[in-house]
Amino acid sequence: MLRPSLRKNNQMRPVSMETAVNKSAEGSCLIKMGGTHVLCTASVDFAQPTWKRLQNKTGGWVTAEYAMLPRANGMRKTRDAIAKDHRSAEISRLIGRALRSVVDMEKLGRHTITIDCDVIQADGGTRTASVTGGFVAMAMAVKWLMDNGHLRENPIRENVAAISAGLWNGELILDLDYEEDCNAEMDANFVVAESGRFIEVQSTGEQHPFEKSQLSEIMDMAAGGVQKLIALQKQVLE
C-alpha cells in the first residue's frame, strides 16, 4: 500500500540543516525534515551545573530543553500549557542523554552546554529531528570553545542522530510523518551513533504486540537512515 506521502517504505522525507541561524548563540541549526521544522541553539556557560559543583564532580555537562511553539500544531497551545507539558520534559531528557552519550565530559572541562530545541512546525518526528539538529548546534558550540582557546581538544567522540520508524498498514516504514504516526501499529524512535551502535530505542505496539523479528528489521532500517543524516551533519559542519 502506498504511503500518504507516496514515499518508499525506507525513504526519508526531504531533510535540510541550516547552520548559524542565530547570531547570539555559540551554535545553532535549523533542521527541516519534511513538514517538521526545529530551531536548535547551543549556549555555553563557563561553569558546571550547580549539582556538579556541590558534589565536587569534575568535567562539564550537556543538557537540553525541548518545547513546541504555540502554533507548531493545527491548534494553538497556550504558553502556560507548554510550560506544564510532561511530554516536553521527557523529550528534553531524551535529547540530553543522546548528546551526552557521545561527549567526553572530562575533555569538555568545567563548561555547560545547553541545547534548546524549539519546534516551529510539527509534522511527526520532532524529537528525532531535535536530536539530529541539536548535535549540529552542540558541535558548533564545541568548535567555538576550541577556536577561542577554552578547550585544547575536541570532546565529541562521534556523531549521533535519530530517526523514527514504525509498522503502518502491516508494512515497516521509515521516518513517519504525522498522518502515519497517528495510524501506526508500532511506533518507534531510534538514537544511533556514527559507529552504528544504538543509544536509545523507544518502541511501542500501538494497536497490538509486535514480533521480535519486526523490531530487528526496523532497527536495520533506522540505522541506514541515521547514517544518511550523519553524512548531512558532516556536510553542513565542514
State residue 193's pLDDT score.
Answer: 98
- Residue 237 pLDDT more than 80? yes
Residue 205: pLDDT band with limits 50, 70, 90: confident
Q: Which residues pair with 191 in a beta bridge?
A: 162, 200
Q: In the numeric block, which cell numbers belong to residue 185?
A: 501499529
Q: In the numeric block, which cell numbers belong to residue 177?
A: 510523518
Query: Which are the contacts of 81, defined by CB distance < 8 A and separation ≥ 6?
Result: none
**Global pTM value:** 0.95
Query: Which are the contacts of 156, defined by CB distance < 8 A and separation ≥ 6?
Result: 102, 103, 104, 138, 139, 142
Q: In the numeric block, which cell numbers belong to residue 92?
A: 528534553
Residue 222: pLDDT band with limits 50, 70, 90: very high
- Tell me the per-residue pLDDT of 28-47, one tens digit each, with 9 for 90 and over: 999 999 999 999 999 999 99
Q: Is 40 helix (H, G, I), strand (E, B) or coil?
A: strand
Most confident of 75-89, 154-168, 200-214: 154-168
Rg (CA), the chain: 18
Q: Would you kindly state where each structural domain of the chain is located, as residue ranges?
A: 15-237
- Residue 21 pLDDT more than 90? yes
**Arithmetic mean of pLDDT over the chain:** 94
The CATH number of the structural domain formed by 15-237 is 3.30.230.70
Q: Of 116, 32, 99, which Cα lies nearest the Cα of 60?
A: 99
